[in-house]
């Protein structure tokens, strides 16, 4: 009978942990050398989604503080999004949110949600156990699979590093 270590994704194998630590070291280096945009470019290089962004929640709007586009095109269309149209509104302090195809997602359809993007995965940005003040997310205009469990864990770890840099700690 296989152990939980082999079958339960919450138990990351040692080689995966070593890879995560290496990835975080590379992310820190990119952050030191290229700032937040360098870090977002690195995060984006690890996944298939076209965009990686940091959004700040501001009342009825979510504003892109930083937005990286894999294709290098201006993203003004995504610089400010009404919260009612943003998939980021489903992120909670304890739960990230992801969708592979917003047009066919039952949860979104049941809630009458219309959005600008098709695929999305985001984690909350917050200090401690306070209400999220923003999100770190990957998104695309076409269907994409959710990031792997390892990438989701990596993004979760990366958010703390980025949050502290955004708020003037560790600069």
What's the pTM?
A: 0.84
138 within 8 A of 121, measured Cβ to Cβ: yes
Residue 13 pLDDT grade (very low, low, confident, very high; cuts 50, 70, 90): very low
Whether the predicted pLDDT of 7 surpasses 60: no
Average pLDDT over residues 57-79: 88
Mean pLDDT across 81-104:
89
Please determine, for residue 73, whether its predicted confidence score (pLDDT) is greater than 50.
yes
pLDDT at 8: 41
Domain annotation covers residue 5? no
Q: Write the pLDDT tens digit of every residue in 105-158.
A: 988 887 666 677 899 999 999 877 778 889 999 999 999 999 999 999 999 999
Question: Is residue 55 included in any domain, yes or no?
Answer: yes
| 132 inside domain | yes
Tell me the H-state helices in the chain. 4-7, 14-45, 106-110, 149-166
The whole-number pLDDT of residue 160 equals 87
Q: Residue 51: which of 60, 43, 63 has the closest Cα?
A: 43
Query: Which of the residue ranges 21-25, 45-49, 100-104, 112-116 would you say has the lowest mean pLDDT?
Result: 112-116
> Is 6 within a domain?
no
Q: What is the pLDDT of residue 17?
A: 58
Note the pLDDT of residue 92: 87
The CATH number of the domain holding residue 124 is 3.30.450.40
Q: What is the pLDDT of residue 6?
A: 37
* Residues 6+ positions from 112 with CB-CB distance below 8 Å: none
Asked whether residue 161 is assigned to any structural domain, the reply reads yes
Work out the mean pLDDT of the chain and round it to a whole number. Answer: 83
Residue 2: pLDDT over 90: no
User: Given this model, what pLDDT does residue 18 score?
Assistant: 67
Number of domains in the chain: 1
Query: Can you state the angle between helices 14-45 and 149-166, rounded to 10 degrees?
Result: 60
Q: Is residue 53 in some structural domain?
A: yes
Q: What pLDDT, on a 0 to 100 scale, did the predictor assign at position 130? A: 77
Range of the domain at 21: 12-166
Structural domain includes residue 135: yes
């Amino acid at each position: 009978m296989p152990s939980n270590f082999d079958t339960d994704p919450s138990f990351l194998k040692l080689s995966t942990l070593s890879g995560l630590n290496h990835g975080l070291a590379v992310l820190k280096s990119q952050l030191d050398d290229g700032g937040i945009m360098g870090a977002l470019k690195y995060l984006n290089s690890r996944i298939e989604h076209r965009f990686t962004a940091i959004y700040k929640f501001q009342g009825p709007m979510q504003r892109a503080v930083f937005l990286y586009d894999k294709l290098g095109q201006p993203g003004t269309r995504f610089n400010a999004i009404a919260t009612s149209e943003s998939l980021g509104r489903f992120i909670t302090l304890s739960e990230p949110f992801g969708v592979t195809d917003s047009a066919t997602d039952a949860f979104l359809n049941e809630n009458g949600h219309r959005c600008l993007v098709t695929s999305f995965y985001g984690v909350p940005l917050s200090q401690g156990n306070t209400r999220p003040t923003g999100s770190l997310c990957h998104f695309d205009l076409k269907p994409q699979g959710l990031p792997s469990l390892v990438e989701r864990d990596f993004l979760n770890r990366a958010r703390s590093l980025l949050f502290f840099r955004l708020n003037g700690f560790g600069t």
